[in-house]
Structure 1
Amino acid sequence: MILVTGGTGLVGSHLLHKLVSENKQVRAIYRRSHTLDRVKHVFSYYNKDHKVLYDKIEWIKADINDVPALEIAFKDIEYVYHCAAFVSFEPNKYYQLRNINIEGTANIVNLCISHHIKKLCYVSSIAAIGHESNPNQFITEETEWNPEEDNSVYAITKYGAEMEVWRGTQEGVPAVIVNPGIILGPGYWKGGSSGNLFRIIHKGLKYYTSGSSAYVDVWDVCNSMVKLMQSDIKNERFIIISENLAFNDFQKKVAKTLVVKPAKKEASAFLLELGWRLDWLTNKLFGKRRKLSKQMAKTVRSKTVYDNSKVKNALQFKFKSIDDSIENVSKFYLNDLKNN
């Protein structure tokens, strides 16, 4: 039997759809009952018989920091996809991020060890990979993480979670780590998911930034994970990205498919530096949630390029074009907007 953590998230819900569509025996954990509706909604995008598929999942209420509940979830499990994570770039959420991303992963790894799991797949992020000083130099799986850099709190905790997975491999659990870029997929239009970008662009974006990042379709993430788990590959990490793209190009493509005007003005370095300081001040004075951290202001100006050749060569994997991904996600977004 297969266990999926984070089954009510973007990657987890799509992964569950793939697994049950292939008649796999699947158990998934959830924390709050209302989040199960999101999974049902995602399933409805792809199948008329989505209720039949959804009912194949065995759900267990558990938190990745609730070890007794996890013990129940791990009964008779052979393979684990660990998708659960907390995504936030707010510096004051550091301890919450540590608790979920690092300590929660440590719990999953410990149970994988004690239950003699055959293989573990951990969903990390390109945020947990090091950077190159030359923006034209491709970042690979071998690019070293530099703890002395001013890394975001999210990146620090995802890197810490990877260390827990590597510890597990030393204690006998075969594992693969995937490092996706910005994951494009439908159904999650708020919060830390990329769907929020579509919502913001549709509402009207005033500024774009000069940086770039890497993007990937959610189905490519799920398909590569399953292929890696079914292969003989173990104890390796893989960058999972389709294309490197400037933020300005991305927002233009999304705006076009949503039939809205793209942002025309570039947010200057001065504006971003001023912005994160004002954001910090309003948080201190009025307790408002952070929207722009110092690290985020730097990231959105940074130009990075990632190399996806390792997974392409290992699996003979072909990625979906980002244009197709954007078109599909935009279609689902507009549909949901019309029906809500």
Structure 2
Amino acid sequence: MILVTGGTGLVGSHLLFKLVSNNEHVRATFRREKTLARVKHVFSYFSDNPEALFNKIEWIEAEINDIPKLQEAFIDITNVYHCAAFVSFEPDKYRILRKVNIKGTANIVNLCIANRIKKLCYVSSIAAIGHHNNPEKLIDEKTAWNPEDDNSVYAITKYGAELEVWRGSQEGLDTVIVNPGIILGGGFWKGGSSGNLFKQIYNGMRYFVNGITGYVDVWDVVSIMYQLMQSSIKNESFILVSENLSFKTFQTKTANALNVKPPLKEAKPWLLQIAWRLDWLQFKILGKRRSLSKQNAKSAISITKYDNSKLKNVLNFEFKPINKSINEVSKLYLNDI
């Protein structure tokens, strides 16, 4: 039987659809019962009978740091997809990020070892990959992480989680790690998901930024995860990026797909410097949640281009063009609203 942690998230829900569609026996964890509706909603995009597919899943309520519940979830499990994570770039959320992403992953790794799990697939992020000083040089899996960089709290904890997975591999656990770029998929239009970008663009964005980063379709991510778990590949990590695009290009393409006006004003670096400081002041004085950290402002204008050749060569995989992904997800968003 297969265990999927974080089954109610963007990657987890799409992965579950793929697994049950392939007649795999699946168990999945969730934290709150109300989030199960998200999975059914995602299933409804791609099936005329989503309820039947959903009912094939054995669900178990388990927090990532609730060891007794996790032990119950691991009964009769042979393979694990660890998708559960906390996504936030707010500096004040560092403790909960560590608790969920690092300590939680350590728990999963320890239980995999204790239960002699055949293979673990961990969903990390390009945030956990190192960066070059040369913005035109492609970043690959060998690019060294520099702890002295001004890394975001999210990046720090995802990197720490990867260290726990590599520890597991040294203790005999077969593992694969995937490092997706910004994952484009439907059904999650709020919070830290990329779906919130579609919502923001639809509602109108005044400013664009010229930073560059990597994007990937959610179906590419789950397909690659499945293929890696079915293969003999072990103890390797893979960057999952279809294309490197500027934020301006992504915003414009998405606005066109949503039939709204794209942002026309550039947010200059000096403006972003002022903005993140004002955001910090509002947090300190008024207690408002952070919406723009220093690291976010920096990444908005940073040029980070990723090399996907390792994955493409190993699996002979062709990524979905991002333009197609944008159109597909935009259509789902418009249907939902």
The TM-score normalised by the length of structure 1 is 0.99
Aligned residue identity for 2:77: I
> Equivalent pairs: percent with the same residue?
67
* Residue-by-residue CA offset, 1:272-322 (whole Å, 9 max, x unaligned): 000000000000001000000001100000011100000000001111000
Structure 1 residue 189: Cα displacement? 0.1
- Partner in structure 1 of residue 180 of structure 2: 180
CA distance in 2, matches of 1:148, 1:227: 35
CA distance in 1, matches of 2:244, 2:6: 27
Structure 1 residue 50: Cα displacement? 1.1
Runs of 4 or more off by more than 3 Å in structure 1?
Answer: none
SS at 1:332 equivalent: helix
State how 1:20-31 maps to structure 2 within 5 Å.
20-31=20-31
- Partner in structure 2 of residue 134 of structure 1: 134
- Partner in structure 2 of residue 119 of structure 1: 119
- Partner in structure 2 of residue 85 of structure 1: 85
- Partner in structure 1 of residue 299 of structure 2: 299
Structure 1 residue 68: Cα displacement? 0.3
CA distance in 2, matches of 1:13, 1:177: 18
CA distance in 2, matches of 1:282, 1:90: 13
The TM-score normalised by the length of structure 2 is 1.00
Q: Does 1:321 align with 2:321?
A: yes
- Partner in structure 2 of residue 144 of structure 1: 144
Aligned residue identity for 1:16: L
CA distance in 2, matches of 1:96, 1:267: 31
Structure 1 residue 187: Cα displacement? 0.1
SS at 1:63 equivalent: coil
CA distance in 2, matches of 1:95, 1:324: 38
- Partner in structure 2 of residue 5 of structure 1: 5
- Partner in structure 1 of residue 212 of structure 2: 212
* Residue-by-residue CA offset, 1:108-143 (whole Å, 9 max, x unaligned): 000000000000000000000000111100000000
SS at 2:226 equivalent: helix
* Residue-by-residue CA offset, 1:62-113 (whole Å, 9 max, x unaligned): 0110000000000000000000000000000000100000000000000000
Aligned residue identity for 2:149: E
SS at 1:239 equivalent: strand
CA distance in 2, matches of 1:31, 1:128: 25
- Partner in structure 1 of residue 60 of structure 2: 60
SS at 2:245 equivalent: strand
Structure 1 residue 260: Cα displacement? 0.3
Aligned residue identity for 1:121: C
Q: Does 1:32 align with 2:32?
A: yes
Structure 1 residue 41: Cα displacement? 0.2
* Residue-by-residue CA offset, 1:195-245 (whole Å, 9 max, x unaligned): 000000000000011201100000000000000000000000000010000
CA distance in 2, matches of 1:51, 1:295: 42
- List runs of 5+ in structure 2 lacking aligned partners: none
Structure 1 residue 49: Cα displacement? 1.3
CA distance in 1, matches of 2:206, 2:63: 39
